[in-house]
């Protein structure tokens, strides 16, 4: 078993074609509270990954869920940030539109959490995902991705326009969300 990633919340290991995401204990919390938080976050993440998949968003297939860990299919793909094109951004927009149509907000929609494998995009890492159908939540989700485009890619305007096209194709309220994104952007300019 090899550690392939680790962060503040979890350690990701790979064994064969199974990825295990294990939420790590926070020693500053009381043990009972820590276990309750980690158990709930683990179950919520697994449930939202499965729900997103049912909504037509390619995600890893969940193999098993325990108190503090999720075992799932390993997607041996390349992060979108490494292979980004306007066409792939359009496909990413379609994924985000399907996700939002189901009432799921990813919470960390970045080009690192979208993988390309065999010409198909997959959405991973639902650790910050939650259910929310408000314009604000959806707008923040899209805004985070647009900020990623702007901070890491020279042709970010073209990528954003391509994303918008795909997003509008799969999400009926895309226009309202994109208007909210503009409002969210304007709030940050003068802070």
The owner of tokens 């799921």 is: 104
Distance, in Å, from the CA atom of 13 to the CA atom of 74, rounded to the nearest integer, reads: 10
- Cβ atoms within 10 Å of 109's Cβ, excluding its own: 25
Taking the CA atoms of 98, 101, 102 and 108 in sequence, report the sign of the dihedral they define: positive
108 an active-site residue?
yes
Query: Which H or E element spans position 141?
Result: helix 135-152
92: nearest Cα among 34, 176, 165, 144: 165
Residue 166, CA atoms < 13 Å, CB-side half-sphere: 20
Catalytic residue among 64, 67, 108, 132: 108
The owner of tokens 């399907």 is: 98
Active site members: 108
């Amino acid at each position: 078993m090899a550690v392939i990633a680790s962060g503040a919340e979890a350690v990701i290991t790979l064994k064969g074609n199974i990825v295990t995401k294990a939420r790590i204990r926070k020693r500053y919390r009381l043990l009972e509270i820590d276990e309750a938080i980690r158990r709930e976050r683990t179950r919520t993440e697994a449930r939202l990954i499965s729900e997103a998949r049912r909504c037509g968003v390619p995600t890893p297939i969940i193999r098993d869920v325990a108190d503090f860990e999720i075992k799932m299919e390993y997607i041996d793909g390349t992060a979108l940030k490494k292979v980004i094109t306007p066409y792939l951004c359009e496909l990413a927009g379609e994924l985000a539109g399907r996700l939002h149509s189901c009432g799921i907000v990813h919470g960390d929609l970045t080009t690192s959490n979208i993988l390309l494998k065999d010409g198909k995009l997959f959405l991973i890492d639902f650790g910050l995902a939650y259910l929310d159908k408000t314009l604000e939540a959806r707008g923040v989700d899209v805004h985070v991705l647009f900020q990623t485009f702007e901070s890491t890619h020279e042709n970010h305007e073209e990528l954003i326009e391509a994303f918008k096209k795909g997003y509008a194709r799969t999400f009926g309220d895309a226009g309202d969300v994109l208007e909210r994104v503009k409002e969210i952007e304007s709030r940050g300019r003068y802070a």
